[in-house]
Structure formats: structure tokens, C-alpha cells
């Protein structure tokens, strides 16, 4: 992943275009991404809550990231949410995002139990080379834990109704 990525402008929390069996509908995803880029959006947040990432299979999440990378135009930023119920899956997703050249990752720690700040920091402690994007409130904690590449961003809201702006939305899926 890139060490000095600057995020600006409007980014879409991309919905995941998948069929009933959980396969990525690549043509639909490409059309949706191109529609957003044609409208001037500068990037995509992949497999977060809007994209239902935490309930998708790891391989599906990886393919979504790959299709996004293949489709993104020069300068388009890509952030993959890699949070999972288990650390092994989260690490595999994080490594994959780096290997295919995404700009950053985002994550929540395992979310079944409640964790404090120390447990959250310890969760990623062995992955200090990741470009970690955290909510501004956690930046100093991540730096203190030894992460070298930390960007912070204010909490942003995404539009869950972006699809309504599309004509013939039924053709996208």
C-alpha cells in the first residue's frame, strides 16, 4: 500500500454487486464504478458496512478488491475494509489489499466481544507496516503502538441512497 496517500474529495461507500450465490457480478460492479467516476467521485470504500463486507466470504471480498483495482481510473483512490470476526482472515485481506496495490485499508477489530483501546491496538500490533487509516481519535494511540504509516480522517457519512440517482437501477444488478 502507498505510504503517503492523500484522500480528498468525495468517495463512494460502494455497494457489493453479488448474485444469490455470493459471486461478484463484475459487469454490474464495473458499470456502477464507472457511473460514479463519470460523476466525479475520486475513490471507493470497498466491503464496508454498505458493501456488506463482514458477511461476505474472504474470496469474494478479495475479488471485489481486484475488480475495483482493475476498473479504477488513474488517481482514483481505493480503501478496502478488511475487518473480520477472526484475525487470520483480516490479515489475509490486509495483505491482499497491499499486494494488489490498493491505497489503504480500514478495519474494525473482531466485533463479537467488546474490546478496549489496548486490545484494539494489540490486535494489529504485529502488522506495523500496514498503511493504517484510523478515526482521528485513535491516531496517537496507533503511533504510540509503533505503526509507521497512520492517516486519520474524521468520521464521514455515506449516502445509502446513491443508487436511487441511477436510471434503470435494475439493469445494474
Tens digits of per-residue pLDDT, 84-102? 888 889 889 999 999 999 9
Phi, psi for residue 31 in degrees, rounded to 5: -65, -45
Q: Is residue 104 helix, strand or coil?
A: strand
**Degrees to nearest 5, angle at CA 16 with 14 and 18:** 160
Q: How far apart are CA 112 and CA 99, in angstroms?
A: 28
C-alpha cell at 133: 487509516
User: Cα separation of 121 and 94, whole Å?
Assistant: 16
Is 27 buried (19+), middle (13-18) or exposed (0-12) by CB count in 10 A? exposed
How far is 38 from 119, CA to CA, in rounded Å? 42
pLDDT of residue 44: 95
3-class DSSP assignment, residue 13:
strand
The pLDDT tens digits for 98-153 are 999 999 888 876 666 676 767 766 666 655 555 554 545 555 555 565 555 555 44
Question: What predicted TM-score, i.e. pTM, was given to this entire model?
Answer: 0.70
Question: Helices marked H in 72-155 — which ranges?
Answer: 87-99, 117-123, 139-144
Amino acid at each position: 500500500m502507498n505510504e503517503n496517500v492523500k484522500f480528498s474529495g468525495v468517495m463512494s461507500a460502494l455497494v457489493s454487486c453479488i448474485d444469490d450465490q455470493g459471486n461478484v457480478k463484475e459487469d454490474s460492479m464495473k458499470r456502477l464504478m464507472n457511473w460514479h467516476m463519470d460523476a466525479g467521485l475520486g475513490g471507493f470504500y470497498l466491503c464496508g458496512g454498505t458493501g456488506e463486507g463482514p458477511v461476505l466470504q474472504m474470496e469474494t471480498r478479495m475479488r471485489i478488491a481486484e475488480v475495483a483495482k482493475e476498473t479504477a481510473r488513474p488517481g482514483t483512490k481505493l480503501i478496502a475494509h478488511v475487518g473480520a470476526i477472526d484475525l487470520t482472515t483480516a490479515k489475509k485481506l490486509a495483505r491482499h489489499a497491499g499486494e494488489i496495490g490498493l491505497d489503504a485499508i480500514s478495519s474494525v477489530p473482531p466485533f463479537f466481544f467488546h474490546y478496549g483501546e489496548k486490545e484494539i491496538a494489540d490486535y494489529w500490533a504485529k502488522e506495523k507496516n500496514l498503511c493504517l487509516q484510523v478515526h482521528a481519535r485513535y491516531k496517537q494511540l496507533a503511533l504510540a503502538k509503533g505503526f509507521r504509516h497512520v492517516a486519520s480522517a474524521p468520521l464521514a457519512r455515506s449516502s445509502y441512497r446513491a443508487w436511487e440517482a441511477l436510471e434503470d437501477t435494475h439493469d445494474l444488478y
